[in-house]
Amino acid sequence: MKKRHVSRDRRDNLTGYLLIAPALLLILAIGVVPVLITISYSFQHYLLTEPQNRHFVGFENYIEILGNSSFWLVLKNTAVFAVISMTLELVLGFTGALLMNGAKKGGRSLVRTTVLIPWAVPGIIIAYMFQFLFNNQLGPVNVILSHFGGAADFSWLTKPWSAMFVVILADAWKQFPYVALMLLAGLQTITQELYESAAIDGAGKLKSFFYITLPNLKGILLIVLLFRTMGAIRIFDIIFGITGGGPASSTATLLYQAYKYLFSDMNYGKGSAMSTIITLIILAISILYIRVLGRRDED
């Protein structure tokens, strides 16, 4: 009796595995295999310009990258970019979510659609849009600022700090709708009764935000944070389109540097090593976040 049960279980398992096999194979082929290939490239001397001279070099590519001062510069740039853009996105996203949650029924769908527009526009288009907006000759930003006493020809993209400001702003504008939408979904799971009983107990709007809204959104906030951190570290299109890493490499990020190694120097070994380093950084941060997430679930 028991034996038959086991074999049926096994058969069920087998069917299950067979059913997910195509999907698994696909993930292996387009997800796992390329990563493994990249990692193997990263330990090789592999220049497209030297097709005959490809050989194993151990950690040489890594040592070269980490020993170069420009790595630490792009790491710093990436960190500055990630922290500031994420903060901006969270603030804007939260505001957007609260507004959408409070909107009257008629206007609600209109507001939701409008907010989504920046997110649906491809990054490279947004990059060129912002390049135009902040162009000191033709850009509307300077025209508007000059009406309020600003310099009519302020050169945004040629000073390290203001160039960084523009790329951060462009990224924040593109990504905040995603944050807003995720948080809106979270807001709608909070039952209205909680707020009602809080109001009866005499809690003000601010108090209910900090003691009801925020704690209930913690889980979704952490997920948003995780995705946006990954996105910010992998930033490329915005930088490529607006500044090309300049001026004075002040907006060059990790992935932009990897692109330079791969497509300008045609150095697949070094480019792959850089990509692997980026993956490791993202992995480390993700593990950290997931630990924090896990801890929340326990208590």
Partner 1 sequence: MKKLAALLLTAVLSAGLLSACGGSQNSGSTDGGKVEGKVTIVTANDTTGSVTHMLEAFKKAYPDVEIDHQMVPGASDDVKQSIMNSFVAGDADPDVIACDSIWVSQFAAADWLLDVTSELEAVKDEYLGGPLKTCYYNDKAYAFPDYTDVGLLYYRTDIIDTPPTTWDELVKLCEEHKGEGGTEYGYIFQMFQGEPTSCNMLEFIKQNGGHDLQDGKFSMANENTYEALDFVKGLIADGTTPEDVLGWRPDDCVSVFDEGKAIFMRNWTYAYARAQSEESKVAGKVGVCALPVGPKGTESSGTLGGWNLAINKNTDNKAAAIALAKFMTSAQAQKIATIERSTFPTQKTMYEDKDVLEALPYLSSMKEAADKAAPRPQVRDYPTISTIFQEYFHKVLAGGEENEATMKAMDEALNAALEKMK
Q: 72 vs 263, which CB is nearer to partner 1?
A: 263
The stretch among 42-50, 84-92, 97-105, 230-238 that binds partner 1 (CB under 8 A) is 42-50
Q: What is the DSSP string of 172-200?
A: HHHHHHHHHHHHHHHHTTS-HHHHHHHHH
With tokens 């069920």, the residue in question is: 12
Residues in 131-150 at the binding interface with partner 1, rule: CB under 8 A: 136-137
User: Is-cis flag, bond preceding 247, omega within 30?
Assistant: yes
d(CA 256, CA 253): 5
In the bound complex, what is the minimum distance in angstroms from residue 126's beta carbon to partner 1?
17
Could you give phi then psi for residue 209, rounded to 5 degrees? -65, -45
Give the residue among 249, 265, 59, 91 at the shortest CA–CA distance from 180: 91
In the bound complex, what is the minimum distance in angstroms from residue 31's beta carbon to partner 1?
20
d(CA 95, CA 180): 8
Binding pattern to partner 1, positions 232-271, x when CB under 8 A? -----------xxxxxxxx---------x--xxxxx----
* Residue count, binding to partner 1 (CB under 8 A): 29
Could you give phi then psi for residue 103, rounded to 5 degrees? -65, 150
Q: 175 vs 243, which CB is nearer to partner 1?
A: 243
Residues in 87-126 at the binding interface with partner 1, rule: CB under 8 A: none
CB 225 within 8 A of CB 296: no
In the bound complex, what is the minimum distance in angstroms from residue 216's beta carbon to partner 1?
46
d(CA 234, CA 224): 15
Give the residue among 285, 269, 280, 243 at the shortest CA–CA distance from 128: 243
Binding pattern to partner 1, positions 205-224, x when CB under 8 A? --------------------
Among residues 40, 95, 114, 158, the one that binds partner 1 under rule CB under 8 A = 158
Q: What would you report as the CA-atom Rg of the chain, rounded to the nearest whole angstrom?
A: 25
d(CA 289, CA 296): 11
Q: 49 vs 192, which CB is nearer to partner 1?
A: 49
Binding pattern to partner 1, positions 43-82, x when CB under 8 A? ----xxxxx------------------x------------
Confirm or reject binding of residue 42 to partner 1 (CB under 8 A).
no
CA end-to-end distance (rounded Å), the chain: 42
In the bound complex, what is the minimum distance in angstroms from residue 14's beta carbon to partner 1?
36
Among residues 153, 185, 215, 290, the one that binds partner 1 under rule CB under 8 A = 153
In the bound complex, what is the minimum distance in angstroms from residue 136's beta carbon to partner 1?
6
Other C-beta atoms lying within 10 Å of the C-beta of residue 294: 9
CB 237 within 8 A of CB 127: yes
Q: 70 vs 87, which CB is nearer to partner 1?
A: 70
In the bound complex, what is the minimum distance in angstroms from residue 160's beta carbon to partner 1?
7
Residues that bind partner 1 (CB under 8 A): 47-51, 70, 136-137, 153, 155, 157-160, 163, 243-250, 260, 263-267
